Structure 1
C-alpha cells in the first residue's frame, strides 16, 4: 500500500532539508557533531531495517563517550531536522490540497465540497442547508497546557522557513532564482541553529497569554476570513446556481480561551491575571481592526463624483464628524469627496481611542477621566462598530458595487462577528471544593452550618438563598485568603463584562463536579455580584459542570436531572438562552480508568446528556476537554466529530485545543484555514442526522462495548492501582520528574507536590512521560485483554468485532487512534528506560505486564481491523511516522544515558555536574516531543 502514496515532492523536500542541515552543522557545530549525527542517523536507519544487537551496542557505546556539550548539539541537530520534516509534511499536504482544487471535481472527504455533495445526494434542500448553518457554532478553546515546548521566537523562525520553502515550489523558476531561494532558505537554517529552542526561565501565565495571542496575529486573522470564503464559494458553486432562495453563510466561528482564566490547581492565575488576559486580548483585536481599516481606506477610494453613497451613510459621517470635531480630532478637508475613505478614517480614529483607553488601563498610564474621554470618543461596543461596517457594505450594494463589498470589507465584517472586542471568550475554571469552602465560610458568618447539611438540604438552602437574593457580603467579616480570591473572580466577571464586552466570558467551568449543589454554589456566589437575578430574569454567567473521573461520568444523569427538576434553575437557563453546556474530561477519565472505559463512558454520557436535555426542552452544547495525545482524547478533529453518537450533535460543539496541537494546527494560515473548514464540515455532517431519522446503534454493539470497557478497566486498574511499586516505576522509567523541572508551563505537574500518586499527578505529565519513554501506555493499555477475553467467550466473537469495526464509527475511530499510538510504541526502547529503575525485580515484573499487554493489543487489533500491520489502512500516516522513527530512536538512546547521568550526579550532590547533564536532557525532551508530535 505504501507505494500508492505519491509523495515524491515530499521526499525531495526532506532530502533538501537534510542536505542543508548538514551544511549548517559542518559550518556551525562542534567538530564531532556532524560526524556523530551522520553515524547515528545511518546506524539507526539500518537497525530499523535489520536489527543487530552488536551494532546497537556499538552506537550506544559511542553516545557514552560524548560530553554533555556535544550531546546538546547532536540533540539540537535532530530537533531541527524534526521541525523541518514537520514543515515539509505540512507544506506537502497544503500543496496537495491546492493541486486538487485546481483540477476541479470533488475534493477531499473532510472538505465543504465533499460534505455538501453528500447532502445533495441525501436529498437535503437549500432550506435544510440554511437551517444547518443557522444553528452552526464551532468553538475551539485555546489552553496553555505545557506540552507545547516551542518558544514563540522559534515559531516565528519556523514560519519564515515555511514561506521560504514554499517559494522554492513556484513554477517557472530559473536556475539562478532557484539557487537564490535555496541560499535564502539556508540562511534561515543558520538563524535557526543560533536560536535557542529551550526557555531559559520558568514560564509565567503572562508568557502563555502572549503565546496564545501570537496564533491570531501570525495566522488566524488571515485564516478565519478564508474559511468563510471557502464555505461561501462551495455553497455558490453547488447550491446558489439554482432559482431557489440562496443559502447565506453566517459567521459560525468563535474562539475561546482558558489562558489566564483556568485557575484549577494553578496558584499563579490570580484575579489580576484574568483582567490582564482580557485587556491583552482586546488590545490585540483592536490593533487588528485599526490595521484593516487603514488598508480598507486605500481600497475603497470611490469618489462622490462617480457614485452616490446611501443617505444613511452620509448621515453617519456627519454624526462622526461632529463627535470628532468637538474633540479636535478630525478636519473636514480630508477625503471630502471620497466618502468611504472619510468614513473609514473616522472609524479608525474611534477604534484608536478604544485601543488607547485599553492600553492605558493595561499599563496604568492615564487617569480615569482621560480614559473615560477616550472611551466616549471610541465605540461603545462591537455592535456599534459592526453597524458602521454594515452601513458601508449596504451603501456599496446600493450603487452596484457588490464585488467590492464582498472583498476585504466583508472579511473585516466576518472578523468583527467572530472576534468582537474580546477576541476569545475567556472561560473561568475552578475546582468545586473552592466554591463549597467559600459558601461554607459565607454561611458560617450567617450562623448557618452548611458543612453538616445533606445534599438535599444544601440544594433547598441554596435555592432559597438565590430566590431571596440574600446579601452575604454586607458584614465586615474578613474572609480567608482563598475565599477572598474566589469572590474577587466574580467581581471581575461583573466589571470586565462592562469594560471589555458583555460577551467577554465564555463558561464558568466547575472541575470535579460531583453533585448538583456544586453548580448552585457558583450561582449563589455570582448572585452576590449582580450576575444572577433573584426572579430568574437574567443570568450573566453560564455554568458548565465538568465531569472528569470514571465515577463522575457514571453520575452525570443524576446530577443533571436533579438540576433540571429545579424550577428556579430552569428559569435561569431560559434567561440565558435555554442552553445547558456540559464539559466532558477525556484526560482524567483515561488516567483514572483507561482508554477503553473512558472513551466508551464518554460516548454513552453524551447520549444521556442529550436525551435529558431533549426531555426537558433544553438545548445542549457539549464541551469536549480533548488533549493532543490519544490518551487525552486526541486524534483528527473531523473523525472525532463525525464519530460522536448519532443525534447528540445539534450544530454546536466546543473543544479544547491543547499543547502541541496549537502549533501544528494554527502556526500557518494555510493549515489553520484547512483545520477550521475541516472542523466545521464535520460539525455540519454530524448535525445533518437531525434532518432525517438516524439509524440507531445495534444493541449488540452496545453490549459488546460495555463488556470491553469493563474488562479493559479491570486490566488497567490491575496495573496502575493494584500493582505494588507501579508509581515508583513510572517515575523511574520515564523522564516525568525531569519534565516537571522544565520551563514549559506555569502550572505544577501535580495537584499536591507532596503526593506522587496517580491521582495527584496531572493527566498531561502522565501522558507526556509515557510518550517520551516510548510506552505511550495511556493510549492503549487494556485493549488487548478486553479483546482477548471477548474472543475467548465464543468462536464467532472475532467476526462480530470485525463487523462492528466496519459498521460502528465510534469503534473504528477508537481503534484507529489506538493503532497510531501502538505504532509509535517501542518496547525494546521502553525496556532501556525500565533498566533505570532502582527496584530491578519489581521493574522486571511491571515491564513484563506492560509488554504482554502490548503484544496482545497489537495482535488482536490487527485481527479486528483485518490488516497485516499497524496503520496499514492509512498509508500516508504510516509513511509519515516511519520517516521519523529512525531519527527518534537515537534520541531515546541518548535520553536514557542522560537520565542515568543526571540522576547519578544529582544523588551524589554534585550540583555543577548535574547542571551540565540537565541541559542536554531537557533538549532531548524537546526533540523527542517534536519527533513524536501528539505527545500530550
Structure 2
C-alpha cells in the first residue's frame, strides 16, 4: 500500500513512472517470441485501445480497425496469434511495473514514520508516559496473519524469484542485471500446463513464509523487545496461520493426505531456515566448551531440514535448551562474544517452533452434520441416540441430547469417489490433528473452523466427533471457531454464542482453553449476500453484540476476520478499520486472512511486509496512542448507518433477483471459463455439476467476474441510493459530519471509492444498445454515476481519491497497462460465441483465459 504525504506524488513519478518508461522501452525491443514486430506494435495497439474506448467503440470495432490499419494482410488465426503475443508482453510489463514500484517502496512510504516502529519510538520520546501503557497493551496483544490459498494472484514461484532479483537490480540501478533479468522473464512461463494440487498451492505460499515472514516477523519482534525491555527470548506477539492443505470448505480437493504433507512441509521449511542461520552461527562460535550442544543442534537442524524425521516429535524446548546452554558458556567463558547471534536464533525458535505457521482446518457445517449422523447410524455411537429422533428435536433439546461420549472409532482414508469420502476424511483429519500436535507442537494445528455455522449444535456436534475419534475432554487441545458469514447468520451470532457459553460441557472446555473464544466473521459471502454497505455494517454490529455477550460471561473474545484482496471481499485499508474500533468491540488481538494480491502487494518483500505488519501492530495500539480517534458511535450515528445499510441492502437484493443477473455474468464475463484456468485446484462454484446458482458461486469467482468486466458492482452497488436517501430525508449534514468524525465510516467510504476507481463502464458502453442486456447495463451504470455524484458531495472533493495522489497515479498506470487485455478479453468472448469453427472457438477461449491472469495481476493494488 502506498501512503502519501507532501511531494510523494512527484517522487512517485520520478522513481516509478519515469523508470518504467525507460525499462519498458528496453523490454519492448527484446526479440522473445520469434515475432520481431510484436514489441514495436504493442505501443500502437495500446494507444489504439485508449482512443477506441474514449470514443465508446465496442471491443470488436477496436480490434478489427487496428488490424485493418496496421496489418491488413493476416487472417483471423494469425490475428489471434498476434493478440497472444501482446498478452505475453503485457504480462511481463506488469511484473516490471510491480518490481519498479516495490523497489521504490522505501522512498514512497511515509517519511514521518507514522504507523511504524520508528514512529512509535518518536512518540514515546515525545511523551514518556506512553511507554508503560504501550508495554502493558503489548503484553496482552497479538497479531496473527493467516495465509490462504484463494487464487487471486497468479505469479508462479519462478516469476516471484525473478521479481525479487529484479527489485534489487532496479534499486541498485544495475542496467546489465536488469537487462538479463528481463530476458529471463521473457523466457519464463507464467502459467501451469496442468492445475496445481492443494499441496502445490501450499508450497507456493510457503515461499513467502520462508523468504519474507521469517525475517520480517523476527525483526519486528526483536525491535519491540529492545524498545520495551522484553526478554531477549520473548515471543508471542506475532503469529502466522496457514489454510492451504487444511481448508476443506474452500477446496473440496483437500484430503487427509494433503493436510499431512503440508504439515510436514511447514516443519521441514522452518528447519531449513534454522539450518541456514545455524551455519552462520557455526562460523563465529568456534570456542571451547560449546562443542557438544553445537553438534547436537547441527544434527537436529540438518536431519529435520533435509531428512525429515516423522517420529522426531516437538523439538522446540530441546532447541531452546541447547541454545541457552551455548549462551551460558559464552557469557561465562567468552565475554559474551557473538551472543547476539544466539539470541537471534532463540527468538526465531520461540516465534516459529517446529511448525512455522499454525495449520487451520475448515469444513462446512452441512458436512459436519452428516458426519455426526453417520456416527449415530453407521458407527452406532452416541449411547443409543437415534439419528432421526435427534434430528427432529428443537435446537435447545439437541444441546441437551448430544452425548459427549468418548470412543476410539477408527477411520479409513478412502478414494475421492467413495460415497463416504467426506465423512471418512473428516474423521481421519480429526485424528491427524492430534498427530500433528504431537510431532510439531500444539500450535501446529489447534483450530477447527466451522463454515456456514448457524446454530450452537454445529459446534457441539463437532466436539463430539473429536471425542469419538480418540480425544478426551481433558485432553482436547483444540479451539472451535464458528464462522458467521451471511447477513442473517451475523444477526443470530450473539444468540448462538450465548447458548454455547451457558452449556456446561462447552463452558468446561473453554475453561481448559484459558477462557478464550475465537470467532471468525466472513466478509466475502456477506458482501455477495447483502452488498458492500450492509456487509460491513452487519459485521460491525455483530462484533459489538458478540463482544457484549462474551464479556457478560467473563470470556476473552478474539475476532478472526476473513478478508479478501479487494474491498468487496473485506480488503482495502484494513489497518484503519482496526484502529477505529471503539471500546464496545473486542480488539485486544487482531487476526485476519491474507490472500490473493494482498500477499504479494503488501507482503511480497521483507521491507513491505515489515511496514504493513507494523501498521497493524500500531492499529492494535491505537487505544493507547490515539484514544481520541477511536469510534464512539452514538445512537444517532448508528441509526443513520442502519438506515443507509437497509436502503443499500434492498437495492442490492433487487439487483440479485433481477432475471438477468447471473446470465449477465455468465454471458458477458469469463465466469464460465474460470474453471479452465490452471491456477487453482478447486472448482469455481460449489455443486460443480449443477446449473449455476448465485448461492453456489464462490465469492472469489463472483468478485473476479465483476472485476474482469471493469464494473466493481459488489463494492459499490446500493451505496449511491443509500446516500441519496439520506439526502432526501434531510440528514445529509449528519452524513458529512460522520464521514469526518468516524474512522470506520470514512474507511468504508474511501475503500469503496478506491474500488470504483478501477471501474470503467466505457469499455462495455456498447452494451447499452444491446437488445438483451441494454436495460440491465443501464441499471448498473445509473447506480455507478449516482454513487460517484454522492461521494463527491459527501467528501467535498470533485476529484475522487485526491487525498491519495500516489495510489491514484498507481491505479491509473495499472489500468492503462491492462486496458488492452480487457479489450482483447471482451472481443474474444464475443467472437467465441459467434464463430462455428471449433478450432477458432477454442483459440478464443484460450485467449480469454490468458487475459484473466494479466488483468488480476495488474490489479494487485485492489487492496
TM-score (norm 1): 0.84
Q: Within the alignment, does 1:783 sit opposite 2:719 as a pair?
A: yes
Q: Which residue of 1 aligns with 2:450?
A: 510
- Contiguous gaps of at least 5 residues in structure 2: 73-77, 413-417
Superposed counterparts of 1:361-510, under 5 Å: 361=310, 375=312, 380-398=314-332, 404-406=338-340, 408-444=341-377, 445=380, 446=384, 448=386, 449=388, 450-462=390-402, 465-466=403-404, 468-469=405-406, 480-510=420-450
- In 2, the alpha carbon distance for the partners of 1:115 and 1:755 equals 54
CA contact (8 A) 2:406 2:471 kept: no
- Residues in 1 aligned to 2:616 and 2:482: alpha-carbon distance in whole angstroms: 24
SS of alignment partner, residue 483 of structure 2: strand
Matched-pair contact (CA < 8 Å) for 1:281–1:422:
yes
Matched, 1:5 2:17: no
Q: Deviations over 1:825-870 (max 9, x none)?
A: 11111335788xxxx4341111111000000111101111111111
Question: How far apart, CA to CA, are the structure 2 residues paired with 1:828 and 1:751?
Answer: 33
In 2, distance between residues paired with 1:548 and 1:565?
A: 23
Q: Report the alpha carbon displacement of residue 249 of structure 1 after superposing the two structures with TM.
A: 6.8
CA distance in 1 between partners of 2:629 and 2:115 (Å): 23
Map 1:670-681 → 2, pairs under 5 A = 670-681=607-618
Q: Deviations over 1:35-69 (max 9, x none)?
A: 32111233456678x75869995565215866222
Relative to structure 1, the CA distance from residue 418 to residue 29 in structure 2 (aligned partners, 3 Å threshold; closer, same or farther) is farther
| Paired residues for 1:516-527 under 5 Å | 516-527=456-467
When residues 584 and 231 of structure 1 are mapped into structure 2, their CA distance, relative to the original with a 3 A threshold, is same
Give the drift of 1:515.
Answer: 0.2
1:738 equivalent in structure 2: 673
Give the equivalent residue in structure 1 for 2:793.
863
SS at match of 1:876: helix
Q: CA deviation at 1:693?
A: 12
The match for 2:682 is: 747
Shift of 1:403: 7.5
8 Å contact from structure 1 (residues 2, 875) kept in 2:
no
- Cα 1:119–1:592 shift into 2, 3 Å: farther
Aligned residue in 2 for 1:276: 261
Residue 12 (structure 1) shift: 2.7
Matched, 1:630 2:567: yes
Q: In 2, are the aligned partners of 1:649 and 1:687 still within 8 Å (CA)?
A: no
Distance 1:380 1:82, change over 3 A: closer
Query: Which residue does the alignment assign to 1:297?
Result: 282
Task: Give the whole-Å Cα distance in 2 for the aligned partners of 1:459 and 1:421.
Answer: 38
CA distance in 2, matches of 1:563, 1:72: 56
**Structure 1's 459 and 687: CA in aligned 2 closer, same or farther, altered over 3 A?**
farther
1:442: Cα distance to partner? 1.6
For residues 755-774 of structure 1, the aligned pairs below 5 Å read 755-774=691-710
Matches for 1:305-324 after TM superposition, within 5 Å: none
Q: Alignment partner of 1:442: what SS?
A: helix
Task: Give aligned pairs, total.
Answer: 836
Q: CA deviation at 1:715?
A: 0.3
Over residues 866-914 of structure 1, what are the superposed CA-to-partner deviations in whole Å (9 max), with x where a residue is unaligned?
Answer: 1111111111111111222222222211111111223444xx3x44333
2:82 aligns with 70
When structure 1 is superposed on structure 2, of 551-560 and 915-924 the one drifting more is 915-924
Once the two structures are TM-superposed, the CA of residue 141 in structure 1 deviates from its matched residue by 0.5
Change (3 A) 1:276 1:118: same
Is the 8 Å Cα contact of residues 30 and 183 (structure 2) preserved in structure 1?
Answer: yes
Check whether the contact 1:69–1:920 (CA below 8 A) recurs between aligned residues: no
Q: Does 1:582 align with 2:588?
A: no
Q: Determine the structure 2 residue equivalent to 1:800.
A: 734
1:931 aligns with 2:841: no
Distance (Å, rounded) in 2 between the aligned partners of 1:204 and 1:453:
41
The aligned residue for residue 28 of structure 2 is 22
Pairing partner for 1:659 from 593, 596, 618:
596
CA-CA distance at 1:122 after TM superposition: 7.1
Report deviation, 1:77: 1.3
Report deviation, 1:435: 1.5
Question: Contact 2:8/2:108 (CA < 8 Å) preserved in 1?
Answer: no
Query: Mean Cα displacement is larger for which, 448-457 or 851-860?
Result: 448-457
CA contact under 8 A between 1:340 and 1:392: conserved in structure 2?
yes
Relative to structure 1, the CA distance from residue 149 to residue 355 in structure 2 (aligned partners, 3 Å threshold; closer, same or farther) is closer
**1:311 corresponding residue in structure 2:** none
After superposition, the Cα gap between the structure-2 partners of 1:90 and 1:36, relative to the gap in structure 1 and judged at 3 Å, is same
Change in 2 beyond 3 A, CA 1:755/1:683: farther
* Corresponding residue for residue 197 of structure 1: 190
Matched-pair contact (CA < 8 Å) for 1:649–1:686: no
CA contact (8 A) 1:300 1:341 kept: no
Contact 1:594 1:713 (8 Å CA) reproduced: yes
- Partner of residue 244, structure 2: 259
Root-mean-square deviation (CA, aligned residues, Å) is 2.9
When residues 397 and 647 of structure 1 are mapped into structure 2, their CA distance, relative to the original with a 3 A threshold, is farther
* Larger Rg, first or second structure (1 or 2): 1
1:156 lines up with 2:106 in the alignment: no
The alpha carbon displacement at 1:630 in A equals 0.8
Look up the SS of the partner of 2:717 in the other structure: coil
Task: Render the CA deviation track for 1:486-527: whole Å, top value 9, x for unaligned.
Answer: 211111112222122222114100000000000001100011
Q: How far is 1:29 from its partner?
A: 5.1
Structural mapping, 1:805-884, within 5 Å: 805-832=739-766, 840-884=770-814
Deviation at 1:216, TM superposition (A): 2.1
2:117 to 102, 112, 116: 112
SS in 2 for 1:23: coil
Tell me the residue number matched to 2:217: 224
In 1: Cα distance, 2:56 partner to 2:773 partner: 25
Contact 1:641 1:686 in 2 (8 A): no
CA distance in 1, matches of 2:629, 2:784: 40
2:415 aligns to what? none
- The 1:568/1:447 distance shift into structure 2, 3 A limit, reads closer
Q: 1:588-631, CA deviations, whole angstroms, 9 ceiling, x for partnerless residues?
A: 00000000000001111111111122111111110000000111
User: 1:546 is paired with a residue of what secondary structure?
Assistant: strand
**TM-score using structure 2 length:** 0.91
CA deviation vs aligned residue, 1:348-383 (integer Å, no higher than 9, x gap): 113334446636x5xxxxxxxxxx5xx3xxx75212
**Does the Cα contact within 8 Å between 1:147 and 1:935 map onto a contact in 2?**
no
Deviation at 1:402, TM superposition (A): 5.8
User: 1:443: Cα distance to partner?
Assistant: 1.6
SS of the equivalent of 2:539 reads helix
Give every structure 1 segment of 4 or more consecutive aligned residues whose post-TM-superposition deviation is greater than 6 Å: 1-4, 119-123, 245-249, 470-475, 691-695
Change in Cα spacing, 1:574 to 1:479, as seen in structure 2 (3 Å) is: farther
Shift in Å, 1:791: 0.6
> What's the secondary structure of 2:590's corresponding residue?
strand
Partner of 1:61: 65
Structure 2 residue 302 is the aligned partner of structure 1 residue 345: no
8 A contact 1:44–1:889 mirrored in 2: yes
Distance 1:484 1:887, change over 3 A: closer
| CA displacement, residues 679-727 of structure 1 (integer Å, 9 cap, x when unaligned) | 22222225768x9997732321101110011000000011112x11211
Match of 1:126 among 118, 126, 131: 131
* Match in the other structure for 1:323: none
Unpaired runs of at least 5, structure 1: 101-106, 169-180, 304-336, 362-371
Conserved 8 A contact 1:548-1:586:
yes
CA distances 1:290-314 after superposition (whole Å, capped 9, x unpaired):
221121011233x3xxxxxxxxxxx
SS at match of 2:693: coil
Q: Structure 1: how far apart are the matches of 2:788 and 2:256?
A: 48
Pick closer, same or farther for the CA change 1:438–1:247 going to 2, 3 Å.
Answer: closer
CA contact (8 A) 2:631 2:744 kept: no
Alignment of 1:886-897 (within 5 A): 886-897=816-827
Change (3 A) 1:220 1:912: same
CA gap of 1:693–1:210, structure 2 versus 1, over 3 A, is closer
Question: Against the structure 1 CA distance between its residues 266 and 246, is the aligned structure 2 distance closer, same or farther, given a 3 Å change threshold?
Answer: closer
